[in-house]
Structure 1
Amino acid sequence: MRPSHLRRRAAWSALALLAALAACERRAAPSGGGVGAGTGSQAPPAAPAASTTAPAAAVEYLEEITGGADRSEALPLVVAIHGLGDRPESFAGLLSGADFKARLIVPRGLTPYNDGYSWFPLQRALGSDDVGQGVLRAAGALAATIERIAAERPTRGKAVVTGFSQGGALSFALALRHPRVVGAAFPVSGWVPAAVLPAGSAADPATPALVALHGDADRRVPFGPTRDAIAALSGLGVKASLQSYPDVGHTVSAEMRRDLVRLIRGAIDDMR
């Protein structure tokens, strides 16, 4: 995958865990030459049809065209959100070479963090109100970016969003709080802070279908709270489900990637 120049426009754990979480996310996030940690030998993904970047709102992003599509076509938006300490150039490898035709948008985190970027501070437990408010702020910036891109590019349907860890939490938040721009959400190893949950006894009827993917051996973002959040969302009327992966930790396994590509392809097919 060719790096692109980015331009600007515009807990369950404590501090001691953050460095480990960031390192784990960088290992888990796939690069252009593979899928991620613990996935075994993988052939490099095919080179994308094209790669450019453009500014929108306050979020910088990388843009690629997948599946041999023409950039001038009206294409679905697929938004892939990296985790703590990662960057778009490496995280794009998760879906580069996918066989579906789409405009792949890989946004960059809002704050530098080690060798990569962060979307929101994690100085407190993952479920704390401070973290929840940070998730909501970042999700608002991303929603504005998605809306701007959809208005400026030939676009078909609402965006399909996915993301790993911090990106998974943001995928939940985008689906639950910004259904006007999201048509389907597939969080990977993410979580749902209380501040992100719908208020009241029922979710917005426009909330899109949501399928979460999570390893049951994940010690960084534990499986149990995500399972409980999915159950709570289902009780509020959200079409939410969880796919678990035995003995998989905080990473994107080969099986998870295959399932994610299948889910995204299905969401795109449903737009026809």
Structure 2
Amino acid sequence: MHNDLAYEYDIHLPSGGEEGKKYPAVFALHGIGYDEQYMLSLVEDLKEEFILIGIRGDLPYEDGYAYYYLKEYGKPERKMFDDSIGKLKHFIEYALNQYPIDSDRVYLIGFSQGAILSMSLALILGDKIKGIAAMNGYIPSFVKEEYPLQPISHLSVFLTQGESDHIFPLNIGQENYEYLRQHAGAVKYTIYPAGHEISQDHQRDIVSWLRHDAFHHNSNKATNPA
């Protein structure tokens, strides 16, 4: 781990990279109790096209890690949440300077706690982020109301939700969709016949979406839930 960084991480660079060539990058944020390897395994098919960076939360939680702890589901410990946002911003800035990343094609993907952080970071980092894939999360009200938000009219979003998610039910996904389609440039919202989890269909669609957005510059308008 770099001395300056709060987080351990695993990075995969395309093999046989050309001198001077820059690549799109995916920063992957796991859910509470998971780790960076789980998230990296979801996008392994992109390892020769993207720089893949899995960031491990710095707090132990059950068999995995967390970026912050909760008072209860849907209620982060505010000081810890704020600190994690600051540390992740610093991490992304470090990586952009350290690795051959195309700064116009930076993506965040996250599940659960990682989705919450991905959406929040996109709102405050503005045009530093090209797109996000946010799986089964929400945007805390204090982020929308108190954080210094940047315009995200350029942002591509792949928003997903599990039909039988018992932690973040469907109305949460709908709220995310309604908010993001008012502010982001392109929003795809898909509901999967799954719970609080990432299915194989889900994984396939995320890989396809990332590849298409990074290399074909998708400019579709918001699309309805499917």
TM-score (structure 1 length as normaliser): 0.70
- The percent of aligned pairs where both chains have the same amino acid is 23
Runs of 4+ in structure 1 over 6 Å off: none
CA contact (8 A) 1:176 1:207 kept: no
Question: Alignment partner of 1:257: what SS?
Answer: helix
* Residue matched to 2:33: 85
Shift of 1:264: 0.6
* Residue matched to 2:166: 219
2:146 paired with 1:152: no
C-alpha spacing 1:186/1:106, structure 2 compared with 1 (3 Å):
same
Question: Alignment partner of 2:46: what SS?
Answer: coil
* Residue matched to 1:63: 11
C-alpha spacing 1:124/1:89, structure 2 compared with 1 (3 Å):
same
TM-score (structure 2 length as normaliser): 0.83
> For residue 65 of structure 2, what is the amino acid of its counterpart?
Y
**Where in structure 2 are the equivalents of 1:66-215 lying within 5 Å?**
66=14, 68=15, 70=17, 72=19, 73-98=21-46, 101-126=49-74, 128=75, 130-131=76-77, 134-156=80-102, 157-197=104-144, 204-205=151-152, 208-215=155-162
Q: Which runs of 5+ in 1 are unaligned?
A: 1-6, 11-56
Answer 1 or 2: which has greater helix percent: 2
Shift of 1:166: 0.6
Shift of 1:86: 1.1
CA distance in 2, matches of 1:137, 1:180: 22
Shift of 1:143: 1.8
* Residue matched to 1:9: 3
Aligned length: 215
Q: Which runs of 5+ in 2 are unaligned?
A: 218-226
* Residue matched to 1:265: 211
Residue deviations 1:13-54, cap 9 Å, x none? xxxxxxxxxxxxxxxxxxxxxxxxxxxxxxxxxxxxxxxxxx
**Mean alpha-carbon deviation: is it higher for 250-259 or for 219-228?**
219-228
> What RMSD over aligned residues (CA atoms) do the two structures have, in Å?
2.6
CA contact (8 A) 1:132 1:195 kept: no
